Amino acid sequence: MDAIRSTFVRNILKEEGIRFIKNQGIAISSATKVRSGNLIKNRKAIVSGTDANPQLHVELPAYARFLDIRRKFRRSRRGQTKRSSARGMRIYNRFVMGHYYGIAERLQFEFTQETVDLIRANWKGAFDGK
């Protein structure tokens, strides 16, 4: 049963990683003017870890996190600072926390007997050569 549970968790993490990259890519495309495309191209979702403890790692360029931060001050031409109400690009925190809760909900409610039977049927088909 532990092998079935770990396969289920790996599948959920893989699907959510792909969904995260796709949804964040759409938001990045709409929020930025694509210059080099580095922010969109250099993102990966990798499922790693042991069978008992799979983990989802999302690799992003280092500066992606800082684009999300709101700028509090804006410099004028004379070097004076003014308070700014500019929002960040909303391309990091919104997606990380949204997908975190989505993963938790799917892991909590989607592991049913039907899922176990489906995974067993896929394994049986793989061993029978179908």
pLDDT in tens, 55-87: 999 999 888 878 777 666 566 666 666 665 566
| 85-108 per-position pLDDT tens digit | 566 677 888 888 888 999 999 999
Give pairs for 32-40: CB < 8 Å, separation 24+. Answer: 32/67, 32/89, 32/91, 39/63, 39/64, 39/67
Say which residue the tokens 């960040």 belong to.
88
Helix (H, G, I), strand (E, B) or coil at 36: coil
The pTM for the full model equals: 0.76
